[in-house]
Amino acid sequence: MTPTAPARRATVRGRFVLATALLSTAALVAACSGPPRGGSGQAAVQLSADTPPAKGELDSFTWATYAEPPTLDYVQAFDYPQNTVLANVCESLMRWTPQLTLAPGLAEKASNPDPTTWVYDLRSGVHFHDGSVMTADDVVYSLGRQTNPDNAAAWAQVFQNVDAVTRTGPLQVTVKLKQPDSQFPQYMATAAGVVAAKAGVEAAGKDYGTGGSLDCTGPYQLGTWAKGQSIELRRFDGYWGTKAKSKKVVFSFLTDPSARTNAMLTGDVDGGYLIPTESYDRLRGSGAGTLYFGEGLSTVNLNVTSMRGPLGDLRVRQALSLALDRSGFVRTGLAGAGTVTGSLTTRAAWAGAPESVRKSAFEHLTPTAQDVDRAKALVKEAGAEGKTITVATSTIGQDVSLLATAVQAAGARIGLDVRLRTIAPNAFTSLFTDPKAREGLDLFPETYYDSVTDPLDLLTNFKTGAYQNFAGYSDQRYDDLVDRATAEYDPAERGAIEAELQRTASEQLLWIPVAEWPTAVFLNKRITGAPTTIAYMYYPWAADVGAAR
C-alpha cells in the first residue's frame, strides 16, 4: 500500500474556509523545481504540476494497474488498486484537488460553528448511478458503515472522535465530535467521506463492492468486471458535475512489471500510474508517450511488523538502518527519481507550517549515511549476531524487490541472517489488512502516501491500536501528543506538536525511513489530462483524460 489538504481556519470557532489549504502555493512552487535533495548520487527529476489539458473526447482508453482490487467497497479502499479505480466512481463529501488542496465535493459547503461541530450542506439534485437522488439519509448511512465494527473498515480510525452523525435537514448532515478534531474534516475528501445510496448498498449485502453496481455518484459507473483480467467503467451521463471526456475506461490487471511496461510501449494500454522504476528510461526514450513526475507525498519505508524478534531491540533497528545503502537504493530501486531521507514524512506535508516548525521537524532525525562498523557494534551489543529477520518481497516492482534485497545485504554485512519471503502482487495488499498475512514477518517495504496534506496522517500510525501499528508499539506520552495534535486546529500550534512526534518516531525507529518518491504517470500520444500528483487516489482523475489531439 503503499498506504496513506488540511483546511485553514480563520479562528478556532470560525467558519471552515474551503478554498485554501496548507499545501497550495508553497509546495507546488517547490514541486516545479524537483524534489528536495537529501542524499548523494541521486538524479533530480523535474516535477510537473499537471499534464496538458485534453483537446477532445474519446470513445475509450485503457489503464494499467499492478493488481486487481480485492473489493471496491469504499470502507476497504486503503490501497492503490482500489482507490485508483474507486476515485472515479464514488465521491466524498469533500474533494482533494490535483493541486492537493481541499474543495467542495458532494457537500457544497462545510461549516464549523464550534470546535466540536461540522455541518455539511449537500448539493441538490445529485443522482446515484441507479437514478435515485442523494439525500442526507444516504450520507448518514454511508458514514455509519465506516464505524460499524462488523465491516472492519480501514477508515474506522478517522471516526474515533465522532459522537454522532445526524440528518439536520433534507440536504444537511451534522457531525458532532467528542472533542475538537483537526483531521476529521480533512479526511472527508478521502474514501472515508464517500457517499453511496443506502438502498443499493443494503440490497447488495455482503456482495457489495465485488460485483454489480457501487451505487455512487461519480462521473463513471461500474461496468463489466472480468475477474482476474479487467474492470470497465462507463461514463455516467446523469453526473451532476463536468461530464467525463471518455465514454469508457478499462483497467487492465498486469501484475508483471515487464508486461505492464510492454503494454504501454505497444499501445495495448494507454497509460498508468505507479510506473515500474526499472522502466523509467525505456518509457522516456521510447517516443511512445511522455513520462511525467508530480508531487507524491510518498515516502519509502521499512515497516516494522513485529517487535517479538530481534527488531524488538532498538539497537538492532538502528543497526539495520545504519547498514542500509539508501543512496544505492535510490539509484537502482527508484531509478534516481527520489531522494534519500531520514524522515518518515515528506517535506511537502509540512508546507503549511511556519519555517521554525519545519526546521524543528527535520532536525536530529534518523542518520542516512552508512556506518557499518557502528552497526556491527550495535548488533554485537544487542547479542543479535546470527539472529534471523524475515522480510517480505514481491515482484510488484523493483522499488519493493530491490529494497528487500538491500536489507538482506545490509544484514549480511553486520551479522544478521535476513531471509526474504516472496509475496504475490495480488496478495501484497493483504499485509495491510490481514494479521495472518503478516505472521512470521519482521519487516516489509512500504511506500506510504499521505491521504491528506498533514504529517499527522503518517505519525498517527504509531499510536496505540492504530490501523498500521502492526508491531504493537505503545507509549502513553506518544498517544497523548497525538491526541493534542489532533485536537489542535491552529496549524502552527499543531505543527509544533507534530514535530515532537516526528522526533520520537525517529528516535524509536518505529519504521525505518529510506527515501522520498514522486508520483509517476505515463501517457501515450493519444491521451492527456491525467493529474500528475497523488491526488488521483481520491480525485476523479479519469474524467479529465481525453484526446491529446
pLDDT tens string 511-537: 999 999 999 999 999 999 999 999 999
Residue 114 has pLDDT above 60, yes or no: yes
135 in any annotated domain: no
525 in a domain, yes or no? no
Closest CA to 450 of 144, 9, 23: 23
What the block records as the C-alpha cell of 199 is 438502498
What is the C-alpha to C-alpha distance for residues 83 and 197, in angstroms, rounded to an integer?
A: 19
Structure confidence by residue, pLDDT tens digits, 333-372: 999 999 999 999 999 999 888 999 999 999 989 999 999 9
Domain enclosing residue 383, as ranges: 295-518
Q: Establish if 368 belongs to a structural domain.
A: yes
Q: What is the pLDDT of residues 371-409, one digit of tens each?
A: 999 999 999 999 999 999 999 999 888 889 999 999 999
Could you give the number of structural domains in the chain?
Answer: 1
The pLDDT value recorded for residue 1 is: 40
Does the structure show a pLDDT above 70 at 212?
yes
28 vs 324: which has the higher pLDDT: 324
User: If you average pLDDT over residues 472-476, what whole number do you get?
Assistant: 96
- Quick check: 65 pLDDT over 70? yes
| Residues near 492 by beta carbon (within 8 Å), at least 6 away in sequence | 353, 354, 357
CATH code of the domain containing 456: 3.10.105.10
- The answer as to whether 474 is a domain residue is yes
Closest among 325, 417, 323, 317 to 375, alpha carbons compared: 323
pLDDT at 5: 31
- Predicted confidence band of residue 17 (pLDDT cuts 50, 70, 90): very low
Confidence of residue 128 (pLDDT cuts 50, 70, 90): very high
Closest CA to 255 of 400, 2, 426, 428: 426
Residue 15's pLDDT is what? Answer: 28
Within-domain flag for 372: yes
Condensed to tens digits (0 to 9), the pLDDT of residues 419-431 reads 999 999 888 888 9
- The helix-helix angle for 372-381 and 398-414 (nearest 10°) equals 70
Closest by Cα among 521, 533, 513 to 38 = 513
Q: Which helix (H) or strand (E) holds 312?
A: none
Distance CA 98, CA 520 (A): 14
Residue 117 resides in a domain? no
C-alpha 513/C-alpha 303 separation (Å) is 9
pLDDT of 219-277, one tens digit each? 999 999 999 999 999 999 999 999 999 999 999 999 999 999 999 999 999 999 999 99
- What is the pLDDT averaged over residues 83-111? 97
Q: Calculate the dihedral angle through the C-alpha atoms of 423, 425, 427, 433, rounding to the nearest 10 degrees.
A: 100
Residue 433: predicted pLDDT: 82
E-assigned strand segments in 41-186: 61-65, 94-96, 102-104, 107-114, 117-122, 162-169, 172-177
Q: Is residue 425 part of a domain?
A: yes
Q: What is the mean pLDDT of residues 90-110?
A: 97
How far is Cα 437 from Cα 423, in angstroms, rounded to an integer? 9
Instruction: Give 256's contacts (C-beta < 8 A, 6+ positions apart).
Output: 395
3-state secondary structure of 113: strand
Confidence check: pLDDT of 36 > 70: no
Instruction: Give residue 351's pLDDT.
Output: 85
**What's the confidence (pLDDT) of residue 432?**
87
496 pLDDT higher than 50: yes
Q: What is the pLDDT of residue 44?
A: 64
pLDDT of residue 39: 36
Average pLDDT, the chain: 91
Checking DSSP bridges between strand 417-423 and strand 388-394, what pairing results, if any? parallel
State pTM to two decimals.
Answer: 0.86
What is the mean pLDDT of the segment spanning 200-210?
Answer: 95
Please compute the mean of the pLDDT values over residues 315-341 and round it to a whole number: 96
Residue 3's pLDDT band (cuts 50, 70, 90)? very low
pLDDT of residue 488: 96
Do the Cβ atoms of 500 and 331 come closer than 8 Å? no
Evaluate whether residue 76 is within a structural domain: no
Between 41 and 254, residue with greater pLDDT: 254
